[in-house]
Amino acid sequence: MTVPETESSDPATAELDAWGDHAILQVLWQGQLAAAAAVGPALPAIAAAAGAAVGRLESGGRLAYAGAGTSGRIAAQDGAELLPTFDWPEDRLLLLVAGGAAALLRAVENAEDEAGQATRLIADHALDACDVLIAVAASGATPFTLACLDAAKEAGALTIGIANSLDAPLLQQADHAILVQTGAEPIAGSTRMKAGTAQKIVLNLLSTLLMLRLGRVYRGQMVDMRAGNAKLRARAERMLAGLTGCTDVAARMALAAADGKVKLALLLLEGLDRTAAEALLARHHGRIRPALAELHASR
């Protein structure tokens, strides 16, 4: 029986439980550094996957994440954070986790074998050619995750597979394969360690690149963030003042007139009324940089 790389044992840590605390922490820390370094060779694959996904998402497609266990929770975390950080629409985000919402807080180990549940989820959500599915599995062989990817691909969705084992079925079947070869864990099979760290980094990079290419970042600022509390409202004011050079009072007034939307407020400060500002942003699919370029070129 072939064992995935992520399930193999590392002879170097066979006596780990007999070591002193400092030695244990040293080797665990080194493993985390190695996991981060393992992402480097995957950067071209991450860029290619993002490039293929942007057009579908720009046209109104949904972004779906699929996974089980640790991988499912890491994937769900990445997806959930897109809403407040980049104002990604909630109705265009799908978090497909084996075992459902309960599995986000506690292990539902048998759920990862439920390929039938995965197929039903894809059908129930009616994924199609407009959508993008990111499937994550350390071994790349989890039945639930594979079934999600296969069903989504059959429905015409773009599929991106992220795995930590060479020759993983998930990578072979995905439209875009992202391999992060982290090897054996210091505690055999504990993929919450190196594999999980690498998965989180890949998802951070991939989703952030997508949001950048979709115009949800401008001059290094989260110009589409949801300012849902006092801290974030203050951040939005500082952001607007920094981007335009306006006073704090002017920033506060513009944001109030724009219902807290930084990009819209920025155009109001440029002298446009709300209708014209919204139309200009719409022409550029919400991207503030080309919108400003058109506005300045017309003056």
Residues forming the active site = 81, 112
As a whole number of angstroms, the distance between CA 176 and CA 12 comes to: 34
Helix, strand, or coil (residue 96) = strand
Indicate the helix (H) or strand (E) that contains 59.
Answer: none
- Going by their DSSP bridges, the two strands 63-67 and 93-97 should be labelled as parallel
As a whole number of angstroms, the distance between CA 296 and CA 299 comes to: 5
The residue behind tokens 């992520």 is 6
The residue behind tokens 């104002």 is 87
**CA 274 vs CA 2, 248, 254, 261, 295: distances in Å:** 62, 20, 10, 11, 14
Phi, psi torsion values for 178, nearest 5 degrees? -120, 105
Helix, strand, or coil (residue 288) = helix
The angle formed by the CA atoms of residues 31, 36 and 40, to the nearest 5 degrees, is: 135
Radius of gyration (Cα) for the chain, nearest Å?
22
